[in-house]
Amino acid sequence: MALKDAPIVNMLSFDEKEAYNHDRPISSLVRTQLLHLHTAENLWLPPEDRTNININNLHTEKQASEYIQKVTALLHRHGRRQQQQAATSAKPKKARKAAKPRKKAASAGRKKSSKTRSAAKKRSSRR
Amino acid sequence: MPAGLDALKHIVVLMMENRSFDHMLGGLKKKNSKINGLTGNESNPDVQGNEVKVSPTADYRGQLGHDPDHHFPGVDVQIYGGAPFAADRVPNMRGFIKSYSTQGTNAKESRAIMNYFSPEKIPVLTTLATEYALFNGWFASIPGPTICNRAFAHYGTSFGNVDMNMFLVSDADRAKIPSIYQRMKNGGHSAKLYYFDEPSSTMEIVNLIKEQSFFATFDQFLADCKSGNLPEYCLIEPNYSDHPGPGGGQLLANDQHPDHHVLAGDNFIGQVYNQIRSIPELWHSTALLIVYDEHGGLYDHVVPPSCTPDGFQATDAATNVPGLAFKFDRLGIRVPAILVSPYIPRGTIVPGPEDPANQRIFEHASIPATVTKHFLGNDIGTVREQNAQTFLDLLGDNLRPDNQCVFFGKH
């Protein structure tokens, strides 16, 4: 016995072109999603990566979906980058030394701050 | 262990938007009296005080152009008929028209909140409801809107929130109450949240952004099913907006949120079911739960029961109901919920409040509670999860043959 033996119930068709309306005003749900993503942009993305789009000017589902797509992609890219950085900073010290020889002169200050950054990352990855 | 549970490798949850049990499935009572739907005599007063009966005239779109109120104060009106907060007030489910009349509707439009679908108008949902297991008593976790209710499906709590505001789970809370995805990962299992596509995205991105590996699109769900890579647990989010698709196409919202076309959502449910149903190995090893996040302001006749307090409290400033500090001790309004598996006997009805001796009350915390219990086998989880009913006992010993399990075709 296989799928071909299954009783078939038909889904109902409808005029999808007629139903489609990307100019429909956004619902409170999508408005909320815009607000959340806008907040996420400002909280997580560095200023140079933000869209700088004023979400108060987004009124239709098409306008909202374009913004949502942009920010979702940016947040994913940022998240992946952070994961890569976390993975890099988690590499054993010797391997990192071998991979990137340190310059003498300007290193003192940077050395300190890089240590601090690395420690902060370790702390945050532990949380 | 029943054979169905023994064979179970995947739990898939499809969470739709904003429709009540009676609105979608209430009409099934005429076909099966065990289904706690509508007799046709249920009514609510309109703004003039005239009784308006429920009516099987719900349309796919156009009747709910003004979004029905489903925020905490609006749901409070719906449940208590508009009575102001008092310790002794009695819930009566008499404030639906009253609530809808505040949303910019005229007198005639506000009566549409009492409409329900005749079963033949949404064949996928009503077929699955009668072919597999239908829950008479699955309630939203909070008498409130989307975000806090969906949080219960992801975390087993909303961390004290009753509204649509973004809540950022602190690292301390995240450690104490990890999401179900994180719990699965920590336990060496796989879990994913499939959102429809990037223009629709997810309602959870701000809370789960820290873990990219939990996210994928619906296309990836379809591919993962085919390639044998479906995770052990996943939750699917529908498309929340009409927007252009790849190659100049048009993608219809299929979340069924008013006033999106209800048939687009019915067919989407069919697509998810068909994808699992058409792959024998997957079909035999998967339980698919179709559930709605909350009732969306639409009429339901069953009074939401009380529940074990959450441990959190929302102040009356947060609930926006004067005098009512909410202790998370009452569930939200009833929603459609259907469990699908070839190991479930045809026509299973899980009794709810209509059968006090045998009732089983479910809510969205039942989702992480069930997933945790099955895959992780321990009692980690929130207070609400520990008190929630789990649903895998509905899977029995007998595998229904292919000629007893439907497939959805297209006209």
Q: Where are the domains of chain B?
A: 3-37+119-404
The owner of tokens 């959870």 is B204
Between helix A28-44 and helix A61-89 the angle, nearest 10°, is 30
pLDDT surpassing 60 at residue A122: no
**Sequence-distant (≥ 6) Cβ neighbours of residue A24 within 8 angstroms:** A60, A61, B242, B259
A19: nearest CB among B17, B264, B411 = B264
Asked whether residue A100 is assigned to any structural domain, the reply reads: no
Task: Give the E-state strand segments of B256-406 in sequence order.
Answer: 286-292, 337-340, 348-350
Q: Is the Cβ of B242 closer than 8 Å to some Cβ of chain A?
A: yes
d(CA A7, CA B123): 14
Structural domain harbouring A63: 19-91
A40·B174 Cβ contact <8 A: no
pLDDT band at A93 (very low <50, low <70, confident <90, very high): low
Looking at chain B, which residue has its C-alpha nearest residue A32?
B164
Give B101 or A123, the one with higher predicted confidence. Answer: B101
pLDDT of residue A119 exceeding 50, the answer is no
* Percent of chain A surpassing pLDDT 70: 71
Contacts of A112 (CB under 8 A, 6+ apart): none
Residue A116 lies in a domain: no
Q: Closest to A2 (Cβ–Cβ): which among B60, B402, B410?
A: B402
Q: Which residues of A are less than 8 Å from B403 in CB distance?
A: 1, 5-7
| Mean pLDDT for the stretch of residues B161-173 | 84
Could you tell me if B121 lies within 8 Å of chain A, comparing CB atoms? yes
Place B165 in a pLDDT band, splitting at 50, 70 and 90. confident
Residue A103 in any domain: the answer is no
Average pLDDT, stretch B334-359?
98
* H-assigned helices in B82-132: 96-100, 107-110, 123-131
* φ and ψ at residue B63, rounded to 5 degrees: -90, -20
pTM: 0.92
- Angle (nearest 5°) at CA B53 between B49 and B56: 145
Q: Is B227 on the interface with A (CB under 8 A)?
A: no
Kind of pairing between the strands at B233-236 and B215-217: unpaired
Choose, out of A18, A30, A33, the residue to mutate when testing the contact with B (most B CBs < 10 Å).
Answer: A33
For chain B, how far is it from start to end, CA to CA, in angstroms?
A: 41
Q: Determine the average pLDDT of the residues in A84-105.
A: 63
What's residue A79's pLDDT? Answer: 87
For residues B239 and A68, give the distance between their C-alpha atoms in angstroms, rounded to a whole number: 12
**Average pLDDT over chain B, rounded to an integer:** 95
Question: Which residue of chain A has the CA closest to B261?
Answer: A19
Identify the CATH assignment for B3-37+119-404 out of 3.40.50.300, 2.30.30.90, 3.40.720.10, 3.30.2290.10.
3.40.720.10
Q: Best residue in A4, A21, A29, A81 to probe B by mutation, most B CBs within 10 Å?
A: A29
**Predicted pLDDT at A95:** 56
In this predicted structure, what is the pLDDT of residue A107? Answer: 42
Record: contact A11-B407, CB cut-off 8 A: no
| B42-51: pLDDT as tens digits | 999 999 999 9
Question: Cis before residue B259, ω within 30 degrees of 0?
Answer: yes
Residue A40 included in any domain: yes
